[in-house]
């Protein structure tokens, strides 16, 4: 499936309108054909067409066609397939060497006759045979363009009347050309990619650009020991997984193109080199790289614009238009010694792609500050859960567990109900405890992991009522003990700050001293904190102190006891409660300007 999709992508890119993006063609080449013999299906000549036109330099330039790869010309006789000079194609002498011209024409016809039966049965090939059978030189000499073609022994080819492509471009002929062996020792077998009987590629070309793999390249398909060989195909590596020479060239060329340094269809996520492509041309072909990749410094809103464009297309039903049935492919590759392993692969239409990405950002959505991005990049999310250094204050991306990024992307495209890797939640909670700081990125990651776990758990029937998913903002109705304790800790910290004159007045707060213990062993901390808050409340105005007392009572109303220990998922709930309550304190309430009654006691 993967090799087939890459081979199809290669075929499409061979015809790319942008010459810079066009991929080289196996077995074919671009060739200027000045004259075209246009014939009917019965082999009758319609016209000798001159394809030359005046270019910008006022010189005649012939039209370029994709034709079978030309042979290397020497002093001997060697004919190209279905195109060549006038002497080869028609057997008409232009240089006074009739015997040599006759031999040339014989070789030209012989190459056509050597085509497989499936190609010889094509209407275009049959028409050429009929043309040679009833060849009429006087009719050709009557053509107005004949003198120019004869004078220069011009290159020419055939085309059926009414067709746009040459006969050598017809599907049956191209298929036959691609299945011609380039290795005399190659054996014929059914290609696992195309299904055609074709020469098997023994050694596939190396794939370059995969992070962590050998710089000289590595392989997806390879056999290097007898233990991996079967059915007597020993010491002939490629025959164990037969892929034709044309298909092997196609998928390796396409993958190397996607993995190139300046590719806008790849991102590096941990050790997973991830590439994206679609079955047909689409403006969203590189959208995933824009969405998950870190935006460039000169265009910081690029990711947000890409997400908004995709969402707008989904909402407007654009996927039912030009992109209907157009599948999008996501392939993650990781190094494995001299080989490349497939970390993940997903193939889905635009509607499902958009839904997966929409759900991903919905799960990440959380109350944020004015400078926090609406759609956080995966790089920033990963940096937030790894150790910061002096050179990387936002987090050293090199310290991220190598398989974490790829596992997250895999979960995103596997579906809205697929849990994120538990390692992500562990890392986010661990950094909150280590740095005693629940920032935007960590809170978003914790919320996303917990909500996906809740969603998956709700599918499995249990005796317990399903847990409510966490909202982006403070949820006053959430009675989960860990969430309530997180809110309680935020209120106690706010009371301490208010008693000192506001945030920033203290060198350290209870968060700096007690966050780790409060989030893991609440019973050992909260009794002390609740006792200490009384001295802080005495320093506040009566109205503000009363408001805090009321808020504490509401939070503690559903807390029957302080747990001795909170497991890691509950430590995540604690962090969310703390973050939500802190954000709510600093959020202006539009319906009332009174900060005391609205929970913003400053």
Residue 594 — very low, low, confident or very high, per pLDDT cuts 50/70/90? very low
* Torsional sign, CA 66, 71, 75, 76: negative
Which comes out higher in pLDDT, residue 354 or 143? 143
Residues 10 and 80 in one domain: no
Tell me: do 298 and 326 sit in the same domain: yes
pLDDT tens readout for residues 534-574: 999 999 999 999 999 999 999 998 888 899 999 999 999 99
Range name among 183-197, 250-264, 429-443 with the lowest pLDDT average: 183-197
* pLDDT score at 460: 66
Q: Identify the helix (H) or strand (E) that includes residue 178.
A: helix 171-178
Q: Are residues 496 and 533 in the same domain?
A: yes
Q: Are 218 and 212 spatial neighbours (Cβ–Cβ below 8 Å)? A: no
Domain assignment of residue 601, yes or no: no
Task: Answer yes or no: do 427 and 380 share one domain.
Answer: yes
For residue 336, is it within any domain?
yes
pLDDT at position 260:
87
Cβ burial of 145 (10 Å; 0-12, 13-18, 19+) is middle
- Do residues 284 and 336 touch, judged by C-beta distance below 8 A? no
Tell the residue number behind the tokens 């045979």, with chain if given: 129
Asked if pLDDT for residue 601 goes beyond 60, the answer is no
**Arithmetic mean of pLDDT, 477-494:** 94
What percent of the chain is modeled with pLDDT above 90?
45
Full DSSP string of 495-533:
HHHHHTTSTTSSS--HHHHHHHHHHH-GGGTHHHHHHHH
Q: Domain check: are 41 and 166 in the same one?
A: yes
Domain-located, residue 592: no
Instruction: Name 543's Cβ contacts closer than 8 Å, sequence gap at least 6.
Output: 596
* Residue spans of alpha helices (H) in 365-504: 378-383, 404-414, 422-435, 440-459, 481-499
What ranges make up the beta strands (E) of 77-201? 83-85, 155-160, 188-190, 197-199
Range 223-235 average pLDDT: 61
The pLDDT of residue 229: 62
CA dist 369 → 293, 442, 473, 579 (Å): 22, 14, 12, 12
Look at residue 595 and tell me if it is in a domain. no
| The predicted structure's pLDDT at residue 579 | 96
Helix H or strand E encompassing 140: helix 137-141
Give the closest residue to 519 by CA, choosing from 479, 492, 489.
Answer: 489
Rounded mean pLDDT, 51-58: 82
pLDDT in tens, 71-91: 877 678 889 999 999 999 999
The residue from 425, 459, 493 where one domain ends is 459
**Do 151 and 168 fall within a single domain?**
yes
Question: 431 in a domain, yes or no?
Answer: yes
Cβ atoms of 586 and 598 closer than 8 Å: no
Residue-wise pLDDT tens digits, 183-226:
556 678 888 888 888 888 877 888 888 888 877 788 887 766 66
Mean pLDDT, all residues of the chain: 85
Instruction: Count the residues in the chain.
Output: 602
Residues 285 and 410 in one domain: yes
| 336 & 410 share domain | yes
Q: Higher confidence at residue 600 or residue 424? A: 424
The least confident of 203-207, 274-278, 514-518 is 203-207
pLDDT at 589 over 60: yes
pTM confidence score: 0.75
**Is residue 502 situated within a structural domain?**
yes
Same structural domain for residues 282 and 397? yes
pLDDT confidence tier of residue 519, bands split at 50, 70 and 90: very high
The residue among 132 and 402 whose pLDDT is bigger is 132
Q: Which residues have a Cβ under 8 Å from the Cβ of 573 and sit 6 or more positions away?
A: 450, 470, 480, 482, 483, 486
Place of tokens 């000169």: 298
The verdict on 446 and 511 lying in the same domain is: no
Residue 372, pLDDT above cutoff 70: yes
Residues 110 and 163 in one domain: yes
Total number of domains in the chain: 4
Domain of residue 402: give its range: 266-459
CA–CA distance, 266 with 255 (Å, rounded to integer): 10
Q: Does 218 share its domain with 322?
A: no
Within a domain: residue 70?
yes
Tell me, yes or no, whether 40 lies in a domain. yes
């Amino acid at each position: 499936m993967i090799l087939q999709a890459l081979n199809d992508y290669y075929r499409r890119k061979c015809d790319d309108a942008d010459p810079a993006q066009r991929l080289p063609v196996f077995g074919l080449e671009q060739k200027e054909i000045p004259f075209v013999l246009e014939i009917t299906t019965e082999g009758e000549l319609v016209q000798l067409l001159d394809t030359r036109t005046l270019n910008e330099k006022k010189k005649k330039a012939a039209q370029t066609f994709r034709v079978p790869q030309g042979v290397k010309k020497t002093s001997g006789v060697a004919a190209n397939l279905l195109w060549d000079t006038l002497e080869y194609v028609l057997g008409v002498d232009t240089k006074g060497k009739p015997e040599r011209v006759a031999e040339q024409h014989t070789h030209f016809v012989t190459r056509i006759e050597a085509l497989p039966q499936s190609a010889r049965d094509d209407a275009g090939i049959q028409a050429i045979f009929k043309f040679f059978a009833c060849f009429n030189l006087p009719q050709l000499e009557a053509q107005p363009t004949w003198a120019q073609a004869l004078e220069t022994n011009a290159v020419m080819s055939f085309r059926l009347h009414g067709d746009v492509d040459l006969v050598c471009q017809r599907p049956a002929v191209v298929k036959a050309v691609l299945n011609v062996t380039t290795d005399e020792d190659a054996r014929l077998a059914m290609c696992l990619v195309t299904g055609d009987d074709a020469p098997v590629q023994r050694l596939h070309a190396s794939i370059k650009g995969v992070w962590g793999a050998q710089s000289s390249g590595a392989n997806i398909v390879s056999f290097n020991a007898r233990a991996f060989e079967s059915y007597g195909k020993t010491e002939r590596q490629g025959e164990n997984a037969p892929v034709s020479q044309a298909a092997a060239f196609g998928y390796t060329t396409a993958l190397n193109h996607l993995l190139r340094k300046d590719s806008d269809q790849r991102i590096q996520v941990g050790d997973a080199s991830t590439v994206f492509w679609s079955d047909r041309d689409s403006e969203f072909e590189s959208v995933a790289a824009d969405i998950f990749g870190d935006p460039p410094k000169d265009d910081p809103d690029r990711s947000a614009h890409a997400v908004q464009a995709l969402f707008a297309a989904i909402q407007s039903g654009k996927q039912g238009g030009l992109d209907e049935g157009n599948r999008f492919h996501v392939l993650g590759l990781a190094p494995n010694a001299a080989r490349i392993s497939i970390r993940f692969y997903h193939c889905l239409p635009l509607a499902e792609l958009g839904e997966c990405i929409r759900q991903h950002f919905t799960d990440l959505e959380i109350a944020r500050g004015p400078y926090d991005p609406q759609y956080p990049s995966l790089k920033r999310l990963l940096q937030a859960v790894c150790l910061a250094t002096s050179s990387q204050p936002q987090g050293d991306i090199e310290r991220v567990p190598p398989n974490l990024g790829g596992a997250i992307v895999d979960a995103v495209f596997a579906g809205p109900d697929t849990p994120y890797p538990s390692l992500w939640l562990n890392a986010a909670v661990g950094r909150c405890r280590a740095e005693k700081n629940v920032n935007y990125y960590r809170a978003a990651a914790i919320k996303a992991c917990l909500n996906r776990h809740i969603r998956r758990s709700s599918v499995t029937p249990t005796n317990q009522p399903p847990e409510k998913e966490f909202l982006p903002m403070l949820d006053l109705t959430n009675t989960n003990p860990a969430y309530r304790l997180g809110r309680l800790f935020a209120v106690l910290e706010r009371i301490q700050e208010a008693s000192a004159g506001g945030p920033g007045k203290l060198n350290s707060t209870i968060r700096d001293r007690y966050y780790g213990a409060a989030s893991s062993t609440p019973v050992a901390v909260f009794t002390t904190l609740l006792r200490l808050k009384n001295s802080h409340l005495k320093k506040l105005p009566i109205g503000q102190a009363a408001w805090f007392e009321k808020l504490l009572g509401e939070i503690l109303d559903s807390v029957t006891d302080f747990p001795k220990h909170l497991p890691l998922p509950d430590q995540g709930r604690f962090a969310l409660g703390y973050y939500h309550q802190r954000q709510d304190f600093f959020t202006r309430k539009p319906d009332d300007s009174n900060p005391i009654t609205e929970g913003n006691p400053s």
